[in-house]
Amino acid sequence: MLTKRLSRRTFLKASAATTALLSVGTFEFKSWQKIHADEKTNLTTIPTFCNACSSKCGLLVHVKNGRVWKVSGQPDHPFGKGKVCARGHALASIPYSSDRLTQPMKKIAEGKFEPITWEQAYKEIGTKLKQIIEKNGPGSFVFINDPRPTGKFYGPRFLNAVGSSNYFGHETVCSNARDTGFNHTIGGIPGGDVANSKYIVFIGRSYGDGVRPASVQALIKAKENGAHVVIVDPRLNNTAPLADEWLPIRPGTDLALVLAMSNVLVTEELYDKEFISNYSVGFEEYKKTIMEYTPEWAEKITGISKETIIRIARDMAKVKPKAMIEQSWRGAFGSTYANSVDTGRAVALFNALLGNIQQKGGYIFGKSPKLGKLDESIHPTPPEATIPRVDAEYPLVSHHTGVAAIIPQKAKEGIVKAALIIQTNPVRNYANPKYMIEGLKSLELMVVIDIQMSETASIADYVLPEPTYLERDDVIEVTPGVKPAISIRQKVIEKVHANTVPADRIFTEIAKEMGLGDYFNFSVDQLNQAMIAPLGITLSELKKKGTIIIDDPVELGVVPKLKTASGKVEFYNESFKKAGFSPVVQWMEPLVKPDSSSFRLITGKQSYHSHTFTANIPYLIQITKDYNSERLWINRTRANQMGLKDGDLVEVVSELTKSKIRIYVTDRIHPECVFVPSGYGNFSKNLTYANGVGFSYLDHLPFHMDPIGGTPMIHECIVKIRKVGV
């Protein structure tokens, strides 16, 4: 029999100890017989989409007597394909969470709030924001969004209305480096056509940990068709059951691997010459540089043998264009190392060498349907704000994402004075929390819209509670792809807390207070109707179906004009040169290196958590508790040398702080690093279930920013491990 990480007996004992939780469980507890006996009584099924991660899969919500019972998947949704992951199922319990924010609040002292009316909130926020902007200019105001459609529409519109360009997303700590590398090299982020590929290399990205159901299914389909799957990761992640081989790379050296694989394609002339001559610029300069990066050279840096590097490059060339290094997300080059932007560039260029762009089994730029607009004559659009952004020193980073992690620094410098933050948690998740708190506290006005008291909400001047995603209507969502889709989020149940207000109303009311109400003289329904009108869809049709696929597929085999400066693949990049960086991709060392007595602290996702947002959902944090999965992974040989055993309590020590955690001793990890999953370390005392579980890598991360990609370089962190009590 296999062994579970925790013995059954201990598990049962642990359950008994947590029985107290039962009474506060989010779902009303009944025996199953009762549950199913009730079934006939008023059961409805309403389509909407999920809010547990950025995939936003289509859901069917089953409501029994006005209460959410369970969710299932919308078969048509391109990312969900009828399936729902653990997070999707469990998040449906959040309307009933005992930690919900239920009324608007105003800070009266450090850590102290008093309830206020919405009228007072709108009035005070509108007045203060107006004063701040009059005194310091509109550039002193920033907006930070979670990647959801209502914020994406209302946020920029509100910014334009007040004259600010400062839109920010959470990508600073997610995909900024990759996006920057890809945008300037191939003009955007394509989707990998994994299902039809013959050879797929994942660098840091794990479909089994950062689950998107359609991606898992695509990979399984590829496997069934005989594809070869390689995982490049310092850690044998949970995609392992679907992989053929694991390259346990030295963390921070992925760039060297990709450069050397590219070297093989170029020196052995295995690349797609026709594609390169027709669709790229600067190949000769690139070729000169790439000659230095031989597989022998990379072997020393990465720890991966030159034979392996040569074999993989050759085998990929044999099946090109149905081969790819998957485009990843945060993975090993989203926000991780000092060289992540260049890893992103190198990966995009390696794929270009395979000629896989817009080819079956390769990289495909999806389509987005052309949406309609509100009628200008009735609903005036504010003029586009043109003043410089506060993160202007990162010229290569897209303005659609921005560098949110530097906002606290700008606040300290007195450049940013006011911030509006929606359902995202910069304090806990964007960089070192001490630094974030210190910076954000120098703001004159900080407003947070959320559903629970996050670490960020805890230090705000005003906290405004929203209904959850199941209790409100949102702006429609577009899912780009080979066949794009339009989905709708709609109210599934009545508001659980009557005094919550959705973000679109909050924007509208604050704008009114500031005399800008004319720009917001419409409802979400009116807006949605206008947006989908050109597609020949009606709102009632969309609300009934949930998701509608636009049957106007991408034409494969035709390389589009790329959205780079030259319209082609850029092996030589003028924008990088202008910004003071190397125009050609080249090897760059990671920022820090552990020695024989220390470790690099790395992190990554688990399939049942999204950032730290889901850690407060009892159904998900219970998985963590049952399987001890908040533990720190450490290589068995290193642990043995240090006299550490599985389950030992250790102290993780860095320049900044100490964390206590138990260890998971395993052969699944490179000896030079330790791994902590990314969903833990909540310290807000109002997050009952999440508080105190595990720690966050960010606690140990010094505040340092990658000047190219605008990321806090989350894996550039050295720690020591010592046994507690020794």
Partner 1 sequence: MARYGMLIDTKKCVECFGCRVACQMQNGLPPEEAFIHFYEKETGTFPNVNIQILPVQCQHCENPPCMKNCPTGATYKNKDGIVLVDENKCIGCKYCVVSCPYQARVPNHKTGVVEKCRFCVEEVEKGKAPICVATCVGNARIFGDLDDPNSEISREIIKRKAIPLRADLGTKPKIYYVR
Amino acid identity, position 714: I
What is the nearest approach in angstroms of partner 1 to the Cβ of residue 275? 34
Identify the residue among 103, 131, 163, 220 touching partner 1 (CB under 8 A).
Answer: 220
Identify the residue among 246, 522, 581, 683 touching partner 1 (CB under 8 A).
Answer: 246
Identify the residue among 259, 420, 669, 719 touching partner 1 (CB under 8 A).
Answer: 669
238 binds partner 1, rule: CB under 8 A: yes
Extract the runs of DSSP E, i.e. beta strands, from 50-95: 58-64, 67-73
String of contacts with partner 1 for each residue 99-128, x by CB under 8 A: ------------------------------
Tokens encoding 459: 């230090």
Identify the residue among 95, 155, 187, 213 touching partner 1 (CB under 8 A).
Answer: 213
239 binds partner 1, rule: CB under 8 A: yes
Q: Which is nearer to partner 1, 104 or 234 (CB)?
A: 234
String of contacts with partner 1 for each residue 62-81, x by CB under 8 A: -------xxxxx--------
710 binds partner 1, rule: CB under 8 A: no
Query: What count of Cα atoms within 13 Å lies in the side-chain half-sphere of residue 107?
Result: 19
Query: Tokens 């998947």 — which residue?
Result: 73
- Enter the DSSP assignment of 44: E
**Span of 42-50, 497-505, 553-561, 623-631 interacting with partner 1 by CB under 8 A:** 623-631
Span 511-540, contacts to partner 1 by CB under 8 A? none
305 binds partner 1, rule: CB under 8 A: no
Identify the residue among 53, 92, 396, 431 touching partner 1 (CB under 8 A).
Answer: 92
225 binds partner 1, rule: CB under 8 A: no
Query: What burial letters (b/e) apply to 639-669, b meaning 16+ CB within 10 Å?
Result: beebebeeebebbbebebeebebebbbbebb
Size, binding site for partner 1 by CB under 8 A: 76
491 binds partner 1, rule: CB under 8 A: no
Of 408, 458, 410, which is closest to residue 432 (Cα–Cα)? 408
217 binds partner 1, rule: CB under 8 A: yes
Give CA–CA dist 313/350, Å, rounded.
Answer: 10
What is the nearest approach in angstroms of partner 1 to the Cβ of residue 316? 21
SS3 for 199-221 is EEEEECCCCCCCCCHHHHHHHHH
Span 636-655, contacts to partner 1 by CB under 8 A? 636-637
Strand 599-604 relative to strand 673-677, pairing: parallel
Extract the runs of DSSP E, i.e. beta strands, from 156-238: 167-168, 191-192, 199-203, 228-232
Q: Which is nearer to partner 1, 25 or 163 (CB)?
A: 25
Question: Over the Cα atoms of the chain, what is R_g?
Answer: 25
Q: Beta partners for 478?
A: 486
Give CA–CA dist 418/440, Å, rounded.
Answer: 9
**Span of 211-219, 259-267, 271-279, 507-515 interacting with partner 1 by CB under 8 A:** 211-219
String of contacts with partner 1 for each residue 19-58, x by CB under 8 A: x-xx--xxxxxxxxxxxx--x-------------------
What is the nearest approach in angstroms of partner 1 to the Cβ of residue 488? 22
Asked if 448 and 460 touch (Cβ cutoff 8 Å), the reply is: yes
15 binds partner 1, rule: CB under 8 A: yes
Give CA–CA dist 380/520, Å, rounded.
Answer: 8
Identify the residue among 442, 582, 666, 691 touching partner 1 (CB under 8 A).
Answer: 666
